[in-house]
């Protein structure tokens, strides 16, 4: 991984930032963005606890980063581990046990729960792709989703728009 620089677009609270720093063997730099103040504190604590020195934690929305800023001129990889599709949340709510759910009288909230994160994921992906980073024809983007259904939502939106 050498002197590579990464942006972890939605860094906390998971340990992927720390894992990446360890894989990089302290070389290079990870710019870890997190919007939530409490998660920023947890990430900073975990970073210190792990003895990781190549992580810069920003209390910042990745979507607000200016790709033209000199601070990001050496970034070659953006890690997008964004909010899930919400499909697990729908199942966890046990709505399927309600009589209204089984009779088909649901209010459509399930579809809305899928579309909101999908819209955010799409915006974040477009922002990441639009960044004019120092890719040197070998730039990388890594997008992580927890459920494959999210792509179905995007495909639905693309078909619907035609």
Predicted TM-score of the model (pTM): 0.66
| pLDDT tens for each residue of 69-115 | 888 878 888 888 776 544 444 444 555 566 665 554 445 555 555 56
**Sheet strands side by side (includes 140-144):** 55-59, 29-34, 5-8, 75-81, 140-144
Element (H, E) at 115: helix 109-130
Q: How many Cα atoms are found within 13 Å in the side-chain-facing hemisphere of 49?
A: 9
Model pLDDT for residues 30-53, shown as the tens digit of each residue: 999 998 999 999 999 999 999 999
What superfamily in CATH does domain 5-161 come from? Vaccinia Virus protein VP39 (3.40.50.150)
Residue 95 CA to residue 87 CA, distance in Å, equals 12
| Contacts of residue 66, Cβ cutoff 8 Å, sequence gap at least 6 | 72
Binding site membership for S-adenosyl-L-methionine: which residues?
34, 81
- Per the annotation, binding residues are 34, 81
Give the C-alpha separation, 119 to 126, whole Å.
11
Split at pLDDT 50, 70, 90, the class of 63 is confident
Find the helix or strand (DSSP H, E) in which 78 lies: strand 75-81
Residues designated as active site: 146
Domain range list for the chain: 5-161
CB of 27 closer than 8 Å to CB of 1: yes
Residue 62 to residue 135: CA distance in whole angstroms? 18
Give the mean pLDDT of the chain.
Answer: 71
Question: Which DSSP helix (H) or strand (E) runs through 81?
Answer: strand 75-81
């Amino acid at each position: 991984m050498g002197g590579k620089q990464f942006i972890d677009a939605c860094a906390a609270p998971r340990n992927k930032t720390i894992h990446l720093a360890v894989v990089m063997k302290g070389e290079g730099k990870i710019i870890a963005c997190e919007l939530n103040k409490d998660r920023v504190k947890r990430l900073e604590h975990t970073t210190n606890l792990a003895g990781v020195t190549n992580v810069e934690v920003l209390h910042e929305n990745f979507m607000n980063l200016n790709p033209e800023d000199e601070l990001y001129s050496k970034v070659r990889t953006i890690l997008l581990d964004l909010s899930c599709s919400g499909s697990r949340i729908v199942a966890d709510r046990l709505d399927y046990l309600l009589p209204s759910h089984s009779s088909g009288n649901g209010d459509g909230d399930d579809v809305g729960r899928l579309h909101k994160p999908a819209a955010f994921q799409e915006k974040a992906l477009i922002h990441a792709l639009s960044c004019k980073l120092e890719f040197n024809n070998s730039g990388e983007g890594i997008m992580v989703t927890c459920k494959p259904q999210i792509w179905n939502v995007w495909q639905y939106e693309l078909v619907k728009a035609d």
